[in-house]
Amino acid sequence: MLARRLLLYIVTAWVAITANFLLPRMMPGNPIQTLIGKITNTVTPEEIRAIRLSFGLGFHQGLVAQYFTYLTQLVHGNLGISITLGAPVSSILREAVPWTVGLIGLSTIFSFAIGTFGGALLGWTRGSRLDSLIPTATFFQAVPYFFLATVMLLLFGSDLHWFPVLGAYSPTVTQGWNLAYIESVIRYGELPLIAIVLSSLAGWMLGMRNMMITMIGEDFVLMAVAKGLPRRKVIWHAARNAILPSIANLSLAIGLVVSGALLVELVFNYPGVGDLLLQAVLNEDYPLIQGIFLVITLAVLAANFLADIVYLWLDPRTRTVAAV
């Protein structure tokens, strides 16, 4: 099963890479040519040559030859040169990626853990007063991440001053491995983290609730009760089985969470990939946009693969049956 999934991710990565190659070449209106016309004054001829080369303009190469040049560049970690920042895309990304991975990774773990736990509880106590949480949860699920983040920034950051806002650390501390800096990073990360967790929590919770209710009707749960197991154990028994589809759904969810969380960075001016992406879009910095897309896709695929490994570890059945 794992080999099959890995194959899928490799194919997906290849599709994303190829789409990245084909899109600028196939789009109507020749966006790259327009772009070069616009930046001629601000960029050295050397750099324009490099941009032309990476988009295959004016070098009378066949598409296939261009494709291989592109792939070779990619293998060497060369993602082209950012038009507005004038630096290699790969080195710009190297600065931004750790922030994003830290923020989104942590918030995904938190929201998955809290949501699954809450969902199991909601499923077990279905029909009780706790059910009135469902419409509220649905509302939070439907609020765009960036809107919730804006409201929280306004309320808890600027009005109540409970959290520091804008940026990832206090401008007064020196960066590096010192306590003040680490503390500041944590303090500045709290509000964005809470915003992402609140937005993504409901999805896990509602999914888990539904799975739990379905699971509770299964015979093995009845059996567990009939044996006279304490209720805590019965719940755990059912929840362990209900959690499997949740993990299987991670592939869909991770993509959505990442897409939403990128915009939260933007609201909080968090120096991650999301903020970078907005600047790149505003400036029509195509090499940077494409580099970011590629990095996000690869990161999401890696997270998917991790989820698959966890799934395999939790569900012994998948180890013998070759089913996806």
Binding residues for another protein (CB under 8 A): 8-9, 11-12, 15-16, 19-20, 23-24, 27-29, 31, 123, 125-128, 134-135, 138-139, 141-144, 146-147, 150-151, 153-154, 158, 210, 213-217, 221-222, 225, 238, 251-252, 254-256, 258-260, 262-263, 266, 277-278, 281-282, 284, 286, 289-290, 292-293, 296-297, 300-301, 304
Q: Which is nearer to another protein, 43 or 254 (by Cβ)?
A: 254
CA distance 38 to 49: 15
235, two tokens: 């719940």
Smallest gap, in angstroms, from Cβ of residue 13 to another protein?
9
> Of 71 and 248, which has the nearer Cβ to another protein?
248
246 or 297: whose CB is closer to another protein? 297
Residue 176 beta carbon to another protein: minimum distance, rounded to whole angstroms: 30
| Residue 224: partners with Cβ closer than 8 Å, 6 or more residues away | 233, 234, 237, 238
Q: How far is the CB of 177 from another protein (least distance, A)?
A: 32
Cβ 277 to another protein shortest distance, Å: 7
Tell me the β-bridge partners of 81: 88
Q: CA-CA distance, 28 to 145, in Å (whole number)? A: 32
Residue closer to another protein (CB basis): 243 or 277: 277
63-75 helix and 45-55 helix, angle to the nearest 10 degrees: 110
Could you tell me the smallest distance in angstroms from the CB atom of residue 31 to another protein?
A: 5
**End-to-end Cα, the chain, rounded Å:** 6
Tokens of 208: 């888990």
Q: Which is nearer to another protein, 62 or 217 (CB)?
A: 217
For 29-58, letters b (16+ CB in 10 Å) and e give eeebeebbeebeeebeeeebebbebbbbbe
The neighbour count for residue 311, using CB atoms within 10 Å, is: 20
At closest approach, how far in Å is the CB of 145 from another protein?
Answer: 9
> Helix, strand, coil proportions of the chain in percent (round to 5)?
75, 0, 25
- Among residues 182 and 256, whose Cβ is nearest to another protein? 256
Closer CB to another protein, residue 182 or residue 306?
306
CB of 229 to another protein, least distance (A): 12
Taking a C-beta distance cutoff of 8 angstroms, is the pair 238, 213 a contact? no
Distance CA 90, CA 73 (A): 12
